[in-house]
Structure 1
Amino acid sequence: MDNWNKEILRLAIPSIISNVTVPLLGLVDLAVVGHIGNETYISAIAVGSMVFNVMYWLLGFLRMGTSGMTSQAYGRQDEQECLNILLRTLMIGLGMGILFIVAQRGIEWGMLQLMNTPKASWQFVAIYFRIVIWGAPAMLGLYGLTGWFIGMQDTRTPMMVAVLQNVVNIVASLFFVFVLGWQISGVAAGTALAQWAGFVVSLYTASKRIKSRGNKELDVDKSNCRVWYSTCRRILAMKGEWGNFFRVNKDIFLRTLCLVSVNFFFTSAGGKQGAMMLAVNTLLMTLFTLFSYMMDGFAYAGEALSGKYYGAADEQGLHITVRRLFGFGIMMVLVFTAVYVLGGVDFLRLLTSDTAVVTAARPYLLWAYLIPLAGMAAFVLDGVFIGLTETKGMLFSTAMAMVTFFAVYYLLWSSFGNDALWIAFLSFLGMRGIASILWARRYLVIF
């Protein structure tokens, strides 16, 4: 294995592990609550987790935008700009988190209405929400720190932080619930504590790294308020850099809205067909989720490496990186397609013991088999676009894909039913890849 492939795997593998651990925070809450209450408790955790998933997903630009800009500054060996980007994203993340806390009652009411929350669960959702919301500054600050670490060619630290969060969440939730008897409040407190633990460890690690590279402005070991104040004032005065920061992140935010629209519609359209079809689509979508965990790891590697080579004006390095990323992507398509074809039914049986659901899912497995082929290119080029801060390409490809999704669905729905929904989803994935390639060939020299 040559150095190019080793470098990609060095960055991709820890990111894949991190991606797999992220859903565990929600699963731990569900597992604990499943042993202390009935379906009302479980539905409350499910709704509460979904509320925060939506809130944080829409602000995912704090990670992606930070990653691309940091990797370019790293490639230019501009240590001061690396620090500026980190402090800039922390200001926004912490500020948005505090805003969420201030506006929590309005957000709570709006989300409860939007999620069609059962009346019986309202009280428990409110308890969960009003505690976990205090972790919002930590989570949004952690988004920026994670993006910064990726840009600095370090995916091991986010992996270790993700593992730490899960350990803290498990231990704290079990203690609060089964020792102190806090029930759903204990589950929420464990989640919030894990979020702050992850943020504090990440911030401390970032500060140590910055000081080791010769910049002592970010120093958590000393309470030098004057230095902090002057540094923040200097960064706030950089109007041009703020303009670029918001330009990049505006495109990512709009692109995320397109993704949210498609995912919400997919779930809603399945639900309108009844509980059985909703269960079928949910199970089959886990095959997409598993593939996305793997491909996101390579996308993160693409963010770090393409940004570094672009910042260093190393065109050859950028070309080789893109080609190698597509090489790994093709390998993943072959592996996942083979696994799904050979073991798809057995995997569904692992997820549910309800034979009726597995039987109902069989006719739609063909569409799940095509997910890796349809989705690979978009994952790879999303990472490259983020590294190059070519966010208009991401927005263009996702918007085109969203239009394709709805057009295909409404054209085919009356004749093909749930098959039309899956054909539309595969068209969405495929169009994202095609549009990304067309944009890259037209505006970027990366192939």
Structure 2
Amino acid sequence: MLNRKILNLAIPNIISNLSVPLLGAVDTALVGHLEEAYYLGAIALGGMIFNFIFWGFGFLRMGTTGLTAQAFGEENKNESIMTLARALTVAGLFSLLLLLLQVWIADLSFWLVEASPEVEHYTRIYFNIRIYTAPATLGLYAINGWFLGMQNARYPMIVTIVLNALNIALDVYFVYSLGMHVDGVAWGTLIARYTGLLLAVVLLFTRYRAWLSGYVHTLLLEMEALKKFFFVNRDIFIRTLCLIFTFSFFTAKSASFGDVVLAANSILLQLWMIVSYGTDGFAYAAESLVGRHTGSGQQKRVKLTVKYCFIWGTGIGLLASAVYAVFNVHILQIFTDQQEVIDMAMIYFLWTVAGPLVSSFSYIWDGVFIGATATGPMRDAMIMATLGCFLPAYFIGVPFLDNHALWMALTLFMIARGVTLTCYAPRHILRAT
């Protein structure tokens, strides 16, 4: 029965999650088949910048899921809808701030990252369009997080699939039919995001109109609830900043090795992301169910949820590693027909084979800790993995290993996250019944 609940939540999440890297893969493939490698570098660099910007607000989804799931488990209708209201308020305020500061954000980004003049030029074009997706992106984080907390994985799946299918269609049309390049990819993203937000709002009002009556304006700023909301989200924000820093550092250092290495690393990182989004389906299931069972005080159900989510999640990681090991070159040829990029990627492909399995542990643990709103330990684990493992591994290894040092550091970073969270779990998650 519990396995069925996990799959009912995980499968829609896997389907919707896989459409996200599929979009990234299509964008990479579209520009990867253009005549110059710097288009691919611009998409990679632009994606890094917006990962840094938008992933930083990932707490709007994760924190909303955990808090809503616990309110759902307690059958607290008012607190459930107020959690959504607070998340949307924060999303609106931060979206406005991002739009007001866009010039400074762009200038700081290009000051921090080493890239060729061509890559920087086309990345600026991409940035100046995509920054206006901020309100839609943050709003969708809050609404989809609320749906998941309400044990509804189907609506986020519908929204994400429609959004990304439209995005892919628009990107193909703009790039191939209209002859655009990175600007076409950016416009496709902009139009698709607002379409997705509109669809999410329609679904919200259609299914949950009765729940919306639980909104009480005076409770929006209720001090104890706000304190819990911001404490949980503060920890997730710090954790996410470390994650963003790690991947942004990875992309920035890739750019310093040249356009071909940047292009190769961006393709290989896409392969890591594809598997991470698949495994995250079970992490999201863990968020929803661990939160619900924590809210209702069912500790035995928490432990069983953790056990089954790990079995499923690590199984996906092992399968993906095997597929990558067998079909390496064939997979790379989907992304680009530039032989020098393929040859470069093959040099480092062994790290991509190892990636899915070693990463799966940390992804599942993240979902478990978010559902239990045990965000402090998750934050601490990420800080230790970033500062105590990733950065030292890179700086010690790069004089001897060059680009291999980047991949070694990223792999050790994932291992460190999994090990540290495993050590924290007995005290914070797997407590005695």
TM-score normalized by the length of structure 2: 0.87
Cα contact 2:369–2:429 (8 A) shared by 1: no
Which sits farther off after the overlay, 22-31 or 83-92?
22-31
SS state at 1:22 partner? helix
Q: Which whole-Å CA distance do the structure 2 matches of 1:397 and 1:127 have between them? A: 37
1:40–1:416 Cα change, 3 Å:
closer
Q: Which whole-Å CA distance do the structure 2 matches of 1:397 and 1:244 have between them? A: 21
Q: Are residues 1:406 and 2:391 paired?
A: yes
Which sits farther off after the overlay, 250-259 or 280-289?
280-289
For 1:210, the equivalent position in structure 2 comes to: 208
Cα contact 1:48–1:129 (8 A) shared by 2: yes
For 1:73, the equivalent position in structure 2 comes to: 71
Greater Cα radius of gyration, structure 1 or 2: 1
Give 5+ residue unaligned stretches, structure 1.
Answer: 219-230
Q: What CA deviation, in whole Å up to 9, does each residue of 1:347-378 have, x standing for no partner?
A: 23333334444444445333332223321211
- Deviation, 1:299, is 0.6
Aligned positions, number: 431
For 1:394, the equivalent position in structure 2 comes to: 378
Q: Are residues 1:99 and 2:97 paired?
A: yes
Partner AA of 1:74 in structure 2: F
Q: Which whole-Å CA distance do the structure 1 matches of 2:344 and 2:29 have between them? A: 27
For 1:54, the equivalent position in structure 2 comes to: 52
- Deviation, 1:170, is 5.5
Partner AA of 2:249 in structure 1: F
For 1:222, the equivalent position in structure 2 comes to: none
Q: What CA deviation, in whole Å up to 9, does each residue of 1:412-437 have, x standing for no partner?
A: 33344433333322211111000000
Partner AA of 1:338 in structure 2: A
Q: 1:165 aligns with which of 163, 166, 183?
A: 163
For 2:304, the equivalent position in structure 1 comes to: 320
1:191–1:405 Cα change, 3 Å:
closer
Partner AA of 1:78 in structure 2: N
Cα contact 1:401–1:431 (8 A) shared by 2: yes
1:413–1:24 Cα change, 3 Å:
closer
Cα contact 2:26–2:168 (8 A) shared by 1: yes
For 2:352, the equivalent position in structure 1 comes to: 368
Q: What CA deviation, in whole Å up to 9, does each residue of 1:46-94 have, x standing for no partner?
A: 6555433321111111111111111111111111111000000000001
Which sits farther off after the overlay, 195-204 or 360-369?
360-369
Q: 1:199 aligns with which of 192, 197, 200?
A: 197
Partner AA of 1:17 in structure 2: I
- Deviation, 1:5, is 1.7
Which sits farther off after the overlay, 377-386 or 101-110?
101-110
Q: Which whole-Å CA distance do the structure 1 matches of 2:119 and 2:256 have between them? A: 22
1:356–1:134 Cα change, 3 Å:
closer
Cα contact 1:95–1:137 (8 A) shared by 2: no
Cα contact 1:397–1:435 (8 A) shared by 2: yes
Matches within 5 A, 1:262-277: 262-277=246-261
Q: Which whole-Å CA distance do the structure 1 matches of 2:271 and 2:73 have between them? A: 36
| Percent identical residues | 38
Partner AA of 2:317 in structure 1: V
- Deviation, 1:399, is 1.3
Partner AA of 2:98 in structure 1: F
Give 5+ residue unaligned stretches, structure 2.
Answer: none
RMSD: 3.3
Q: Are residues 1:139 and 2:137 paired?
A: yes
